[in-house]
Amino acid sequence: MREVRKLAGQTLVYGLGTMIPRFLNYAVMTPFYTRIFYKELGQYGVITELYAWMAILLVVLTYGMETGFFRFAQNREDADKVYSTALVSLLITSVLFIVIVNVFIVPVSALMNYRSNHDYIRMLSGIVAIDAFTAIPFARLRRENRPVIFSTIKIINVLLQSDWLYFCLK
């Protein structure tokens, strides 16, 4: 019975750590996006399209490393080595992604039909790279059964990114 309570408690905290940031992102940013992108007819779809790109790119940039971390960190002795290897790997590919996008910003923007909005693509690359890199630290918190810290950091992360986007697009 004790394990069921622990599971229920962690499920609640991890669930809130996922739902609250999504709600905050919607509640805080939707009025802002609507006001900014309403100025030009039909421009609000930009946000939806960029979120779709984010989802696809996040899958590519994490390349299953989170699942691999859980698989290979089962042995306590190897956990730190697996963590550092995964973290360094994601750091290198995330930084490389940002550099490549910024070096080739004109063709990438043209490919995505944002020729006149290079800043959108730069912000997209930064957010995706940060999310990809932080996948392993969040996986480590889950592995170590630290749901409160996990959820708190997730919520703070969304608030900081929302403020950063608000400042950049204002």
Alpha-carbon distance of 44 to 120, in angstroms, equals 13
Q: How far is CA 18 from the centre of its chain?
A: 12
Over residues 113-165, the pLDDT tens digits come to 899 889 889 989 998 999 899 999 999 998 988 888 988 888 887 777 666 66
Residues near 28 by beta carbon (within 8 Å), at least 6 away in sequence: 159, 162
Over residues 71-111, the pLDDT tens digits come to 888 877 888 999 999 999 999 999 999 999 999 999 999 99
Backbone phi and psi for residue 37, each to the nearest 5 degrees, phi listed first: -90, -5
The boundaries of the domain holding residue 60 are 2-169
Over residues 34-82, the pLDDT tens digits come to 776 665 555 667 777 888 899 899 999 999 998 899 888 887 788 899 9
Look at the chain and report how many structural domains it folds into. Answer: 1
Show the DSSP H helices in 39-117 as ranges.
45-62, 65-72, 79-103, 105-111
